[in-house]
A and B are shown apart, each in its own frame.
Chain A
Amino acid sequence: MIGDVIRTENLTKHYGEIHAVETVNLQIKQGEIYGFLGLNGAGKTTTIRMLLGMIRPTRGEAFLYGEKVDPGNTDLWNRVGHLVEIPYSYPELTVLENLEIFRRLRLLKDRDVVTEVMDRLHLGRYRNMKARNLSHGNAQRLGIARALIHHPGLLILDEPANGLDPAGIVQVRELLTDLARSHGVTIFISSHILGEISRFATRIGIIHEGKLIRESEVGQLKRSMHRTLHVHTLNNQKAREILTHQGYTSSPLPDGSLELPDEPAISHPEKVSALLASKGLPPVKIALDEEDLEHFFFRIIKNHHEQS
């Protein structure tokens, strides 16, 4: 199954009584941007460290490009770039020297790759600045630069947006999207912010308490978010009677307006509007409300708790 760039089979890690990761099965194809979502302590970093051979699974296996992940399989890392948690660089070395170290450790002959990656991450003006003097955001950029220096086919990134300002977040998002779309780079990116990750990921996996509780395409995920039609008229009580008479389900909200959760109302709000207008109660406000992504994330986690 070389078709999958990342594949895990029952990947499990236990620390004594703590089940950090439990039977996680992943299959990620080339060019995908896979958002790995979970709260702090959900098992994201442990999974990533197992994918990178830093932690041995208690049970199960991980494969990258069809090859089993093992610390001895060093050739594998020529094709993989990574960033694990907060990137730490050698504080007494400059940005240039920190990157030069990794150019050499990755056995890259082309010296220009260092300048190229610095320019790409807007680090050129800091090239001679010691890493200890970098801002948090630039230290993060340096970590991302290290991950990209060898033009890897697979990027495994653990919360790369940490510490970046809004402009930096957009820049990294655009960079990653370009790498995936234009260069076919596969990206496995963890985050605890669904709103951010869903902007550019093609597929999302949600991990909670070590278990992969949901996996779907981003479009499908968005479709399964709760949507409701909110209607406000000059007489909401009467409007509710009219709607109920026509077969619509509605419930009053604290501000007196009505909430219609059914698909016919959501799909055709113009019909609801026309109905109420024909009865002399044209809506003063009618709006389709979509569930906030973060609420959706928490609802999935809550549902998982209730089911288990």
Chain B
Amino acid sequence: MKEIKAALWMEILKVRRTKIFPISVYFFIFIGIMMGFLMFVARHPEIANRSATISTKTSFLPGSDWNAFFDLMIQLVLTLGVIGSGIITSWNFGREFSDRTVKDLLSLPVPRSTIVLSKLIILFVWNILLSICFVVTAIISGLLLQVPGWSGTALTPFLVTFMMCVIFNSLLITPVALIASAGRGYMLPISFIILILIFTQLLFVGLPDLTFWFPWALPALFSGVAGEALPSPGYISYLIFILTILAGLFGTIAWWRYTDHR
């Protein structure tokens, strides 16, 4: 217990002192505000008509009420969550190698597995925090801009679905941590995230039947934003998802424990 407390203290201090932490928070808040603004424009198409870009952006919105807004927030967190969690994970693990600080974390009374675990816990919490910043800002901006059709009863199921998607995305950081460790830096995991995003989009568009087998598609399948054409994920999807997380977790621990740190 002492070991994990010490390791968590270290990780919290490093996150607090880094610029990427406030930048990530401001970025998610900004996106939340922009969501509200987008809904506002959807309600007032005369504003959008003056700008071709904004007009294009609002044209894909299913509507301009709170139900459409909730759907939009879930769609956005599915993509933004993968990017956000991927980048902060790449940074947290990759920086130990690019700053060459990892060698000082290896021969200590605190086991290497504890260091890895504390990093993943902090990243999980960080990712949840970013999503909360996003959703709270988006809801406040929606209320301020008077998006019509507010319903307190619709809020709870939305928040449950939203947070479940966030949790799924936040758990999927373990394979990114493994790739950042094995790649000893930022480039490989960030490339991996881009590849995952492209692959997920291709699957949904081109090969929807295979989405059940792809762990990064689970949050979208769970949320139902993919439409009624795709049913909810089955046991196999959850099993593959859990195995992917565990493979990432134990793979990262094993990598820190057994590889040669030259």
* Cβ–Cβ < 8 Å partners of B100 in chain A: 86, 88
* Cβ–Cβ < 8 Å partners of A52 in chain B: 106-107
The size bracket of the interface on B is 20 to 34
Pair A53/B110 contact, Cβ less than 8 Å:
no
Pair A93/B109 contact, Cβ less than 8 Å:
no
In the assembled complex, the Cα of A104 lies from the Cα of B10 at a distance in Å of 8
In the assembled complex, the Cα of A72 lies from the Cα of B114 at a distance in Å of 12
Known: A56-B260, A92-B18, A107-B6. A84 touches B103 (CB 8 A): yes
- Within the complex, which residue of A53, A85, A104 is in contact with B107, where a contact is CB–CB below 8 Å? A53
- Within the complex, which residue of A55, A74, A75, A77 is in contact with B262, where a contact is CB–CB below 8 Å? A55
A106 CB within 8 Å of chain B:
yes
In the assembled complex, the Cα of A56 lies from the Cα of B101 at a distance in Å of 19
A-B contact pairs, 7 of them (CB 8 A): A71-B257, A88-B103, A92-B18, A102-B108, A104-B9, A105-B109, A107-B6
Residue in chain B with minimal CB distance to A146: B104
* Cβ–Cβ < 8 Å partners of A85 in chain B: 103
> What are the 9 A-B residue pairs with the smallest beta carbon separation, nearest first?
A104-B6, A88-B100, A54-B261, A52-B107, A92-B17, A55-B260, A101-B10, A77-B107, A105-B110
In the assembled complex, the Cα of A91 lies from the Cα of B106 at a distance in Å of 19
* Cβ–Cβ < 8 Å partners of B6 in chain A: 104-105, 107
Pair A80/B109 contact, Cβ less than 8 Å:
no
Pair A56/B258 contact, Cβ less than 8 Å:
yes
CB proximity to B under 8 Å, residues A14-63: 46, 49, 52-56
Pair B111/A90 contact, Cβ less than 8 Å:
no
Residue in chain B with minimal CB distance to A87: B104
Pair A105/B7 contact, Cβ less than 8 Å:
yes
| Least Cβ–Cβ distance between B110 and chain A, in angstroms | 5
- Within the complex, which residue of B7, B101, B105, B107 is in contact with A89, where a contact is CB–CB below 8 Å? B101
- Within the complex, which residue of A71, A87, A102 is in contact with B106, where a contact is CB–CB below 8 Å? A71
Pair A74/B101 contact, Cβ less than 8 Å:
no
* Cβ–Cβ < 8 Å partners of A72 in chain B: 111, 257
In the assembled complex, the Cα of A93 lies from the Cα of B105 at a distance in Å of 16
| Least Cβ–Cβ distance between A103 and chain B, in angstroms | 9
| Least Cβ–Cβ distance between A207 and chain B, in angstroms | 17
In the assembled complex, the Cα of A101 lies from the Cα of B17 at a distance in Å of 13
A78 CB within 8 Å of chain B:
yes
* Cβ–Cβ < 8 Å partners of A75 in chain B: 109
In the assembled complex, the Cα of A89 lies from the Cα of B95 at a distance in Å of 12
Pair B99/A88 contact, Cβ less than 8 Å:
yes
CB proximity to A under 8 Å, residues B183-232: none
Residue in chain B with minimal CB distance to A94: B17
Pair A105/B260 contact, Cβ less than 8 Å:
no
* Cβ–Cβ < 8 Å partners of B103 in chain A: 54, 84-85, 88
B112 CB within 8 Å of chain A:
yes
Pair B260/A106 contact, Cβ less than 8 Å:
no
In the assembled complex, the Cα of A107 lies from the Cα of B7 at a distance in Å of 10
* Cβ–Cβ < 8 Å partners of A104 in chain B: 6, 9-10
A82 CB within 8 Å of chain B:
yes
In the assembled complex, the Cα of A90 lies from the Cα of B258 at a distance in Å of 24
* Cβ–Cβ < 8 Å partners of B258 in chain A: 56, 71
Binary interface encoding of chain B residues 8-38 relative to chain A, with 1 for a CB under 8 A from any of its CBs, else 0: 0110011001110000000000000000000
| Least Cβ–Cβ distance between B121 and chain A, in angstroms | 16
Known: A92-B17, A92-B18. A107 touches B107 (CB 8 A): no
| Least Cβ–Cβ distance between B57 and chain A, in angstroms | 37
* Cβ–Cβ < 8 Å partners of B50 in chain A: none
A97 CB within 8 Å of chain B:
yes
| Least Cβ–Cβ distance between A106 and chain B, in angstroms | 6
Pair B108/A105 contact, Cβ less than 8 Å:
yes
A75, A78, A84 interface centre (most CB from chain B within 10 Å): A84
Pair A107/B9 contact, Cβ less than 8 Å:
no
Pair B3/A93 contact, Cβ less than 8 Å:
no
Pair A82/B10 contact, Cβ less than 8 Å:
no
Residue in chain A with minimal CB distance to B111: A74
Identify 7 new A-B residue pairs, CB closer than 8 A, beyond the known A49-B262, A88-B99, A88-B100: A52-B106, A52-B107, A71-B257, A87-B104, A92-B19, A104-B10, A106-B108
Binary interface encoding of chain B residues 164-182 relative to chain A, with 1 for a CB under 8 A from any of its CBs, else 0: 0000000000000000000
Residue in chain B with minimal CB distance to A104: B6
In the assembled complex, the Cα of A84 lies from the Cα of B13 at a distance in Å of 24
Residue in chain A with minimal CB distance to B261: A54
Pair A97/B17 contact, Cβ less than 8 Å:
yes
Residue in chain B with minimal CB distance to A132: B99
* Cβ–Cβ < 8 Å partners of A92 in chain B: 14, 17-19
In the assembled complex, the Cα of A266 lies from the Cα of B18 at a distance in Å of 65
In the assembled complex, the Cα of A77 lies from the Cα of B101 at a distance in Å of 17
Binary interface encoding of chain A residues 291-308 relative to chain B, with 1 for a CB under 8 A from any of its CBs, else 0: 000000000000000000
